[in-house]
Chains A and B, each alone.
Chain A
Amino acid sequence: MKRHAWLSVGLSFLAMGAVAQQQKVGDPPEASNMKLMGWSDLQARSAYQPTIHRQGERWIAYVGHHGGTDDIPTPVNPMTGQAEPNGTSIVDVTDPTAPKYLRHIPGAPGKYEDGGAQMVRVCDGSALPKGDKSAVYMLRSFGGQAHEIWNVADPSKPVLVTRLDGLRDTHKSWWECDTGIAFLVGGAPEWRTKRMTQIYDLSDPARPVKIRDFGLPGQEPGATGAVPTDLHGPISTGPQGNRVYFGYGTNKGGFVQIVDREKLLKGAPEPTADNLRAPELGRLVMSAWNGAHTTFPMLQMPIAEFANDKEGKTRDIVMIVDEAILNECNEPRQMVWFADVSIENRPMMISSWTVPEASGNFCQRGGRFGAHSSNESMAPVFYKKMAFISWFNAGVRALDLRDPYHPKEVGYFIPAITDKTDKRCVKVDGKDRCKIAIQTNNVETDERGYVYIVDRANTGMHILELGGDARQVAGLK
């Protein structure tokens, strides 16, 4: 055989290898140290934020959805027989092996990011300072235009309590259940950015009290010149930690802004450049190629390597997760970064982690490959020990971050696709070339140690349990 013929055969095998990595309906999930406990199809709706909440003896998952797709703009709810714009799925996960779909609350009409009700947070009325003690409140976005609060004390019969309307591009909000302070993400009228923060006192969810609008100098109404990049979302450590970590720039031009919470809440509310600058303590500017989707604080982490050092034994760490946006690796890699923010005006990146692309030929599998978000529960079972990162076509990845200077993977789970999993396309020579792949979008954990992952490509919610070494990292038996 001539040399080029051998080369062709070799290339064919290589191509077959890449094709073999593409998922097919009926293929088993791919897993290491993570096991599937149960699954809900979420009515084949594209999913964003899951929040798991204990209500008495029950555990309820609230899952936010993106809008519908071009092919199915308003999926039919089999419980009502009606076509309903994607909104919020409410699922009883008390028995993780048999999740029970309770209710779908329709969201805003609109496709993809323009409709649905992506975000969801939940607080007990008994925890909120002025809430109805018998109520359980669910805060959700409604399309891009509003935030809503529902009473979900009976999760099968949610009741709308409040709506904050007239906004644009609402997104990943944060709600402190012990104070009621909410950092609502969206675009206020007149502001020059589509995403900034509106801070509300929602301690009585029926009577929202606006505290102030917040953003970066240059984003405020009336400013001129360059407009700083959009906010993606904040995470507050509450009055005890007195810090809010804001992540800007979803997939590019990112930075973390460290803010004094008390100064933010009590500072002059007029949105002038000086007033916006006043509560800021520090900024960590990232490469223009990466953004900050999630900025998850882990303060006062003991670092074993520094145990004998006179100073700096514990470090304030922020885990920064970028969001991959484009299909099939058409952008710089979006991944996970760890920053030491102990010295707040000199924060420093200390490590990073990515799924090795070659471990699954992920750039060829279809859809997005790269990080999107992390679990945000601060329950002791995993906090400061492990993090779970949703990685689109590489599923969810379990990281041991007890030494955040050297994070390492201890498990992963890539769900199987179903006949409902939606395609993802790229243009090749002007024509769509589509592939079907899992698109694990978000992840959350509960206090029992279960891991919940949801899929952007309509494959539903998978409930997982750790196994092997990963259980030991978390201290689970």
Chain B
Amino acid sequence: MLSRRTILQTSLAGSMVAGLAGLAAFANFYPKPDRDEELTGWRRIAWPFPRDAFPAGRAWKRDDTEVYIRPKLGFCGNCDTGVVEDSEVDRVTDIDLLDEQFVPLREGKRIQLTDLTGRARLYRIKKGGRERVAQGIAVAYKCDLVVAIVVGPVADDAILKNAHRFLETNTVQVWINALLEGR
């Protein structure tokens, strides 16, 4: 029969292993902020959407604003023109994952993120029981798309621009480029 001391030591060791494993998982899920994240205040959060036809993307949060971004390889409707129509922004961005009943607020406009161009459009959505505004972004690289959503007080132009600037940082772009260039 095991002594009380052995049982105690074993329990302690087990708890420590479980704790370390939990910490490791947590660290993996929310990796240590990199330089851009430290400077900009954006913090990585878990990808909030269920698994679908495309690999999961990455998500960040800063104050009341969140951004979600991922490449959709081989999904461009027109490899030569890229994304030039609002209807394509409606179709290809993940805005429907936030709210299937999204409502476009106005015509979209051209957008450029680093060297990728496309269109961005504002939508009214319901998230967590309250009405919010989100911007759907779709830019093209040949026959591949990169889609992003900015959700939060994006009617404030400064907040929207801040989110766009973050999407252009190395934190996001190195990862995106690795996926676009690595296929």
Q: Which residues of A contact B (CB under 8 A)?
A: 110-114, 169, 191-194, 224-227, 230, 251-253, 288-289, 325-327, 330-331, 426-430
CB A190 to nearest CB in B, in angstroms, measures 9
Give complex CA distance A84, B51 in Å: 45
Q: Count contacts on B: residues with CB < 8 A to the other chain.
A: 27
Which residue of B53, B104, B182 is within 8 Å of A289 (Cβ)? Answer: B53
Give complex CA distance A226, B73 in Å: 20
CB A232 to nearest CB in B, in angstroms, measures 13
Residues B183 and A114 in contact, CB atoms below 8 Å apart: no
Residues B79 and A112 in contact, CB atoms below 8 Å apart: yes
Residues B79 and A113 in contact, CB atoms below 8 Å apart: yes
Residues B87 and A192 in contact, CB atoms below 8 Å apart: yes
Give complex CA distance A194, B54 in Å: 20
Name the interface residues of B65-83: CB closer than 8 Å to any CB of A. 73-74, 77-81
**Shortest Cβ distance from A226 into B: residue:** B96
Residues of A within 8 A of B90 (CB): 192, 227
Q: Is B100 an interface residue (CB 8 A)?
A: yes
CB A441 to nearest CB in B, in angstroms, measures 16
Residues B77 and A194 in contact, CB atoms below 8 Å apart: yes
Query: Given A114-B80, A227-B90, A227-B91, are A429 and B181 also a contact pair (CB < 8 Å)?
Result: yes
Give complex CA distance A112, B90 in Å: 25
Query: Given A111-B80, A193-B87, are A224 and B102 also a contact pair (CB < 8 Å)?
Result: yes
Most buried by A among B53, B78, B87, B96: B53
Query: Given A114-B80, A225-B101, are A330 and B91 also a contact pair (CB < 8 Å)?
Result: no
**Shortest Cβ distance from A431 into B: residue:** B181
Residues of B within 8 A of A326 (CB): 73-74, 183
Give complex CA distance A225, B101 in Å: 4
Residues B180 and A427 in contact, CB atoms below 8 Å apart: yes
Residues A427 and B103 in contact, CB atoms below 8 Å apart: no
Most buried by A among B52, B87, B102: B87
**Shortest Cβ distance from A427 into B: residue:** B181
Give complex CA distance A252, B51 in Å: 13
**Shortest Cβ distance from A252 into B: residue:** B53
CB B101 to nearest CB in A, in angstroms, measures 4
Give complex CA distance A327, B100 in Å: 32
Sorted nearest first, the 9 A-B pairs with minimum C-beta distance are A226-B96, A252-B53, A288-B53, A430-B181, A226-B100, A225-B101, A227-B91, A325-B74, A427-B181
Residues A225 and B183 in contact, CB atoms below 8 Å apart: no
Give complex CA distance A224, B102 in Å: 7
Residues A227 and B87 in contact, CB atoms below 8 Å apart: yes
CB B10 to nearest CB in A, in angstroms, measures 38
Give complex CA distance A228, B101 in Å: 12
**Shortest Cβ distance from B179 into A: residue:** A427
Residues A110 and B77 in contact, CB atoms below 8 Å apart: no
Residues of A within 8 A of B77 (CB): 169, 194
Residues B80 and A225 in contact, CB atoms below 8 Å apart: no
Residues of B within 8 A of A252 (CB): 53-54
CB B122 to nearest CB in A, in angstroms, measures 14
**Shortest Cβ distance from A115 into B: residue:** B80
Residues B52 and A110 in contact, CB atoms below 8 Å apart: no
Give complex CA distance A352, B8 in Å: 55
Residues A193 and B91 in contact, CB atoms below 8 Å apart: yes
Residues of A within 8 A of B180 (CB): 427
Residues of A within 8 A of B103 (CB): 224-225
Which residue of B78, B88, B102 is within 8 Å of A226 (Cβ)? Answer: B102
25 A–B contacts, CB within 8 A, in A order: A113-B78, A114-B78, A114-B80, A169-B77, A192-B91, A193-B87, A194-B87, A194-B88, A224-B102, A224-B103, A225-B96, A225-B101, A226-B101, A227-B90, A227-B91, A230-B91, A251-B74, A288-B52, A288-B53, A289-B53, A330-B73, A330-B183, A427-B181, A429-B181, A429-B182
CB A229 to nearest CB in B, in angstroms, measures 8
Give complex CA distance A114, B80 in Å: 8
Residues of B within 8 A of A430 (CB): 177, 181-182
CB A166 to nearest CB in B, in angstroms, measures 15
**Shortest Cβ distance from B72 into A: residue:** A252
Residues of A within 8 A of B87 (CB): 191-194, 227
Give complex CA distance A29, B77 in Å: 34
**Shortest Cβ distance from B91 into A: residue:** A227
Give complex CA distance A426, B183 in Å: 6
CB B132 to nearest CB in A, in angstroms, measures 15
CB A344 to nearest CB in B, in angstroms, measures 26
Query: Given A288-B52, A288-B53, A427-B183, are A224 and B91 also a contact pair (CB < 8 Å)?
Result: no
Name the interface residues of B162-183: CB closer than 8 Å to any CB of A. 177, 180-183
CB A316 to nearest CB in B, in angstroms, measures 28
Give complex CA distance A286, B183 in Å: 25
Most buried by A among B90, B99, B104: B90
Give complex CA distance A254, B52 in Å: 12
**Shortest Cβ distance from A191 into B: residue:** B87
Give complex CA distance A170, B49 in Å: 33
Give complex CA distance A224, B52 in Å: 22
Residues A225 and B79 in contact, CB atoms below 8 Å apart: no
Query: Given A114-B80, A194-B77, A252-B53, are A225 and B182 also a contact pair (CB < 8 Å)?
Result: no
Residues A331 and B78 in contact, CB atoms below 8 Å apart: no
Give complex CA distance A111, B143 in Å: 12
List 18 extra interface pairs beyond A225-B102, A325-B74, CB under 8 A: A113-B78, A113-B79, A114-B81, A193-B87, A194-B87, A194-B88, A224-B101, A224-B104, A225-B96, A225-B99, A225-B100, A251-B74, A253-B52, A326-B73, A326-B74, A426-B183, A430-B181, A430-B182
